[in-house]
Structure 1
Amino acid sequence: MPPVLDHLVLDVCDRMAEGAARMEALGFQLTPMGKHSLGSANHLAVLAEDYLELLGTDVPGGALRPDIASYPVGLNGLVFRTEDAATLSAALVSRGVPALPAQEFHRPVDLPDGTRDEARFRTTRLDRAAAMDGRIYWCEHLTPQHVWRREWQAHPNGALSVARVLVSARDPERQAAIFRRMFGEAAVAPGEGGRLLLPCGPAAVEVAPHAAVRAELGGAAPDPAERGDHMVLIALRVRDLAATGALLRARGIAAAARPGGLRVAAEPALNVTLDFLG
């Protein structure tokens, strides 16, 4: 089955309030804080079919979940969609992909009618040594109605969906090889200048050599923070690029014009470059 992007995870460690404030300043509407049964906390920026997740702890200086504790602030989670995480895990292992057993967890969610329920998920993760310096996994939404709620999908900046994820890699072919094992030989397409593309529905993951990423992003690039191959940029489609630009200017956020869009440089609260595309 071709890959479909489910969501992207921005680790904010114990700086949840700072990360959330920056996201809201950028024009995203965030969901109320959720607390996972695994011990982490999150906010979501829910888009039409995918979303951005701020992940960390709700307590400044608090302990982080063991599997995310070693990651710095930044874009560290690339998450694909699955309808059956347990079956997928077995299928991946049979193809030589180092997938871990499926894991189920939940978090409480308040409903519009004043009652409370649980948003429940089942995930299949890759062994962290298998690919880039980040987390790759699949998410099965057992209660999608508790994530994609219409009232959470209207963002002041007009964000609609993820269009592009850029990975900076020493050797793009190494990352492409694991993608082929995950999704099939035809899943990866060649790009320009040594880049490789993994189409994921309306989005694409692009893996580019470190030098090409430096040339593209320059001073807008995030701090690698001792990561090796790592994700550096999210591009988002917006409803009205002129309106997005006006909102950013009104809020004092510098956004450099580029062909077809605007670019906001990485800064410490999120440590990821953001493109807004018309």
Structure 2
Amino acid sequence: MKQPSRPLDHLVLPVPSLAVARDRLALLGFTCAPDGIHPFGTVNTCVYFADGTFLEPLAVGYPQRAAETAREGNAFTAGDAHFRAIRGDNGFAALVLGSQDADADDAAFRAEGFPGGTRLDFSRGFRTPDGAEGEASFRLAFAAPQAGNAAFFFACQRVNVPVVDRTALETHENGVTGIRGITLAAANPHTHRAFLEAFTGAEVDAFEDHVEVVLPNAAIAIVRDPGVTDLACLAIRFACADPDALRRRLTASCIDFNDVDGTLAVPPAPGQGALFQFEA
């Protein structure tokens, strides 16, 4: 029996520091969670949405520990270090899908010919704005479209995530309620169709200039870009409750943006490594 397709879980955005990310995202009207500390040297300040997805701005908080774990085969820190070495400290590094069974997903990625590294288990503490604390545990299964790809891909099983009230963290001044879609780029999108099907577990539709897959909670497209040498993460499309209010906010804050048929597109900037697109 075919397993259901994997949903979007979150997106990893490397940043030079969490302070830079907080400043930029706050300017755009996002609410950032308190700092999270990984046991392998990286730190984050997540942006949670009401649809269950989130952004993970990621910095290297403890460089020595991050470098050690990468050398030891930690696919997460190795992937982050590889991306930063190629693309720099500000970007869109990883697309993460949800997993019901990371062991099964790891086996499936390997069987399909797209292994991305050793499966990883870890736990980290968290703190909510009201001071509640707890520990969350995860299992990660990695997939790779090709050797040496700058962006990396994995499925995340939330093994032990305590139920907490995230209403305050999921409420954003810009009116964003979730992630509608992700745009990837490649010189030839059709080259990566098999990978996208193996990674998502869903059928991929092929068109002349792009391929696309619809997940339970978002869509992923790979568009043609002759200047891209691998499979790159490019843009994030958000659902926004009030684009007019956001337009006024961006204008008042002197943030560059394009307005095309009601979709507001904000180009990458320090602390925001992807093109952000906001639509009603």
Match for residue 172 of structure 1 among 162, 175, 189: 189
Structure 2 CA distance, aligned partners of 1:144 and 1:260?
Answer: 37
SS in 2 for 1:150: coil
Structure 2 CA distance, aligned partners of 1:173 and 1:128?
Answer: 12
Unaligned runs of 5+ in 1: 215-223
1:206 Cα shift?
0.8
Match for residue 96 of structure 1 among 113, 123, 128: 113
1:64 Cα shift?
4.5
1:62 Cα shift?
7.2
Structure 1 CA distance, aligned partners of 2:165 and 2:39?
Answer: 20
2:209 alignment counterpart? 194
Give the AA of the match of 1:143: N
Structure 2 CA distance, aligned partners of 1:38 and 1:64?
Answer: 5
Q: 1:148 to 1:262 in 2, by over 3 A?
A: farther
Residues 36-51 of structure 1: pairs in structure 2 closer than 5 A: 36-48=38-50, 49-51=52-54
SS in 2 for 1:237: strand
- For normalisation by structure 2, the TM-score amounts to 0.83
Asked if structure 1 preserves the Cα contact closer than 8 Å seen for 2:177 and 2:238, the reply is yes
Structure 1 CA distance, aligned partners of 2:33 and 2:199?
Answer: 31
SS in 1 for 2:6: coil
1:58 and 2:61 correspond: yes
Structure 2 CA distance, aligned partners of 1:271 and 1:114?
Answer: 29
Give the AA of the match of 1:256: N
1:147 Cα shift?
7.6
SS in 2 for 1:104: strand
2:81 alignment counterpart? 69
Asked if structure 2 preserves the Cα contact closer than 8 Å seen for 1:46 and 1:147, the reply is no
Asked if structure 2 preserves the Cα contact closer than 8 Å seen for 1:166 and 1:234, the reply is yes
1:272 and 2:274 correspond: yes
1:220 alignment counterpart? none
Unaligned runs of 5+ in 2: 71-77
1:208 and 2:223 correspond: yes
Asked if structure 2 preserves the Cα contact closer than 8 Å seen for 1:43 and 1:54, the reply is yes
Match for residue 231 of structure 1 among 215, 230, 233: 233
Asked if structure 2 preserves the Cα contact closer than 8 Å seen for 1:41 and 1:55, the reply is yes
Q: Deviations over 1:185-222 (max 9, x none)?
A: x610124x4110021223111101105xx8xxxxxxxx
Structure 2 CA distance, aligned partners of 1:255 and 1:175?
Answer: 30
1:18 Cα shift?
1.1
Q: 1:63 to 1:53 in 2, by over 3 A?
A: same
1:129 Cα shift?
3.6
1:166 Cα shift?
1.1
- The Cα RMSD (Å) is 2.5
1:219 alignment counterpart? none
Match for residue 29 of structure 1 among 28, 31, 42: 31
Structure 2 CA distance, aligned partners of 1:97 and 1:147?
Answer: 35
2:73 alignment counterpart? none
Give the AA of the match of 2:204: V
1:17 alignment counterpart? 19
Q: 1:111 to 1:24 in 2, by over 3 A?
A: closer
Asked if structure 2 preserves the Cα contact closer than 8 Å seen for 1:169 and 1:229, the reply is yes
1:135 Cα shift?
0.8
- For normalisation by structure 1, the TM-score amounts to 0.84
Q: 1:64 to 1:266 in 2, by over 3 A?
A: same
Structure 1 CA distance, aligned partners of 2:47 and 2:39?
Answer: 20
Asked if structure 2 preserves the Cα contact closer than 8 Å seen for 1:168 and 1:230, the reply is yes
Give the AA of the match of 1:187: E
1:161 alignment counterpart? 178
Structure 1 CA distance, aligned partners of 2:110 and 2:151?
Answer: 20
Q: Deviations over 1:148-167 (max 9, x none)?
A: 72221001111111112111
